[in-house]
Chain A
Amino acid sequence: MDEVLSVRGLSKRYGQGCPACYELTGPRFETNLCPRCGSVVAAHDVSFSLYQGEILGIMGESGSGKSTAVKCLYFDEPPSAGSAEFFDQGEAYQLFDLNNAQQRRLANQRFGMVYQNPHLGLNFDISAGGNIAERLLMSNVDNYAQIRQRAISLLSRTEVLAERMDEMPRNFSGGMQQRVQIAKALATNPPLLFLDEVTTGLDLSVQAAILDLILEIQQQSRTSMIVVTHDLGVIRLLADRTLVMKYGRVIESGLTDQILEDPQHAYTQRLVASAL
C-alpha cells in the first residue's frame, strides 16, 4: 500500500515550557498541565502512518489532543516538535519545513479540511458556490463556467440542491452547512482529507447521512482521511485503524475492530464498555 502521510514524534505545547513538561504530564499523571511551569502539553510524541484510501480514526475526549494533532498537520498551528512527511504525486514534502506559501498551496490544493464549526471552514459572507469557487480560484482555475459547473457537481455529490448554490451559508441548516464544507474541501480532489468532529451536534439522522457520504467519497475517490471524534460510533463505522488519545498521548493504536473487540488500555476498556 502507498503511504500518504508519515507523522513522527509530533508534539504541541502551549506556554513557556520547561524541561519537566513532558515527564510530569500524560495519562500516568492524569493531567496535561505541567505542574512546574503551568504549560499545557496538548499533544506529545504522536506518531502514525496513513495509507492511500485509508481512514484513520483519532479518538479521545475533549482536551485529549486529538484535534491539536490535525490542526498542526493542516498548518492551523505550528507544532512544538516532530516531523510529518506527505507523499504526493511522486514528491515527498517535509510539512513543517515548508514556507508559508508552500504550506498554503498544499492546504488549498492537496488537503481538505472539514471543521466541526462551519464558521471555520466556510466564509459566511459569500455564497455556497462562492465558497467552492474560492478554493478553485486559489488553484488557478480561471474559467467562470467551469467553476460554476464544478460547484454544481460537487454540491449535487454532497446532496445540496444546485438551486441553492447562490444562497448564503447562513440560510442553511447545520447539516447542509457541513455538506457545503465537505463539497468545498473536495473541490480540488485532494488526496488527503481531515475531518474534525464533523457530525458532532447534528441530529442523529443527519449524522448518519453525512457519515454515509464520507464513506461513499472514500470508496469512490480512494481519498485518505483522518477522522477526529469523541464518538465511538463514528470510529466503528468509518475508521480502518484507530489511535486512542488521552492527556495528549496516544495510549492505544491498531485496527479498529481489534481495539473495539479487545481493548488493552483501561481507559479504552471503559470507553468501549460504556458504549455497548
Chain B
Amino acid sequence: MNQEHFGFLDEYAKKEVRRATLKAVAIPGYQVPYSSREMPMGRGFGTGGLQLTLALIGRGETLKVIDQGSDDSVNAVNLRSFIEMTCPGIHTTIRTEQADLIQSRHRIPEKPLREDQLLVLQVPYPDALVVVEASEDRRKLLHGEADYSRLLVKLYEDIVKFSEITISHRYPTRINGHYVIDPSPIPRWDVPKLHNSPALILLGAGREKKIYAVPPYTQAEPLAFEDVPFRVEDFSDEHGQRRSCVRCGCNSSFLDEYVDSATGEQVYRCSDSDWCNQQLEQQQGVEQAVEVANG
C-alpha cells in the first residue's frame, strides 16, 4: 500500500477528530458526535480508537497497542502494524511505562498510568442508556437532564431477581457527577482505574460515531446503591483464597482462566501480558541478585 499521508486520514478529518476530542475533554463524559471515517479495518475492530490515535500521535512518540490485555493478540498486531505503516517516525513498545499513547480494547493496563500518558479505549457501544432506551433522540434528552433513573431501576430489578447486580462489564459509570458513560467493555476490575486517573482517557466509537473522555483527575463513580456497592470480579477459590497467576505468581491482577490442555486442570494467568512479563523479570532479577550475592 502506498499511503503517502501521515496518519492515513486527510488533514480535515484529523482536525475534526481533534476538535471533537477537545470538546469531549471540556464536557467530561459527554458523547461528542463526529463524522467517523471508514478505516481499512472493520467497524467494530477499533476504528474509533484508531481514528483518535491517528489524529493525536506525532513523530517521535511511542505507541502501545493491546487487545484483551495482550500486545500480541491478532487485532492488536493488526492495528499496530497499520499505525506503524501510516505513521512513519513513531516508535512502538510493549512496555506500559514507555508508552506515550496506549490504544486498548477491553482492558486498562495493571500498571498505573502517569500524567504524561494518554489512554485510548475502543468502544463498540458508547451509550450506557441504550439498554433502557432504544431511541437516540430520547437518550439525548435523558443525558441532558442527567436522568439515569431507568438505569438504576434496572439495577434495582437485578437485585430483586438475582440478589446481585448482574452487569459484568461495560459498567455504567458517572463522570464528574453528571454524564453516565459506557466505559467500553472493560471488566469491572478496571472501572476504579478511571476514577481520578492521572492520565487522560479518551473513548472512541467509530461505528456509532462518538468520542468522549474521562479527563485527568476527574470523578468516575460506577452506578450502585448506597447499601449494595459496586464490586469488581472476585478471583477467590472455594476456600476464599485469592487465586494467583500460574506463570508469574501475581495475586493482585485480573486473571484469565484456562483449561490446561496437558493436565485438564483449570489454571489462571494474568490478562495483562506486559504486567505478567515484568513480574517474572523482577523475580528473575531478584533470583539473579540472590545468586550473585550467594556466589
Contacts and interface: CB of A to CB of B under 8 A. Distances in A.
Contacts, number: 49
A166 B157 CA distance: 9
A129 B159 CA distance: 12
A144 B157 contact: no
22 contacts: A101-B144, A101-B145, A123-B153, A126-B153, A126-B157, A127-B160, A130-B153, A133-B152, A133-B153, A133-B156, A134-B150, A134-B153, A137-B152, A142-B152, A142-B226, A143-B226, A144-B156, A144-B226, A144-B227, A147-B156, A147-B225, A166-B161
Given A142-B225, A142-B226, A143-B226, A166 B145 contact: no
Interface in B133-150: 141, 144-145, 147, 149-150
Interface in A127-142: 127, 129-130, 133-135, 137-138, 142
B228 interface: yes
A183 to B, nearest CB: 15
B228 A127 contact: no
A125 to B, nearest CB: 9
A130 B160 CA distance: 9
A127 B160 CA distance: 9
A147 B153 CA distance: 11
Interface of B: 141, 144-145, 147, 149-150, 152-153, 156-157, 159-161, 225-228
Interface SS of chain B: helix
A104 B225 contact: no
Given A134-B153, A144-B227, 4 more contacts: A130-B157, A137-B153, A143-B227, A145-B227
Contacts of A101: 144-145
B156 A100 contact: no
Interface of A is mostly: helix
A143 B155 CA distance: 12
Nearest to B142: A104
What class of interface size applies to chain A in its complex with B?
A: 20 to 34
A123 to B, nearest CB: 8
Nearest to A134: B153
Given A144-B225, A144-B227, A127 B147 contact: no
Contacts of B144: 101
B228 A134 contact: no
A137 B156 contact: yes
A138 B150 CA distance: 9
A30 to B, nearest CB: 40
Closest 7 CB pairs of A and B: A144-B225, A137-B149, A138-B149, A143-B226, A137-B152, A101-B145, A134-B153
Interface string A141-154: 01111110000000
A130 B145 contact: no
Nearest to A138: B149
A138 B147 contact: yes
Contact of A100 (B145, B160, B161): B145
Interface string A89-133: 000000000001100100000000000000000010011011001
Contacts of A134: 149-150, 152-153
B107 to A, nearest CB: 29
B157 A127 contact: yes
B145 A104 contact: yes
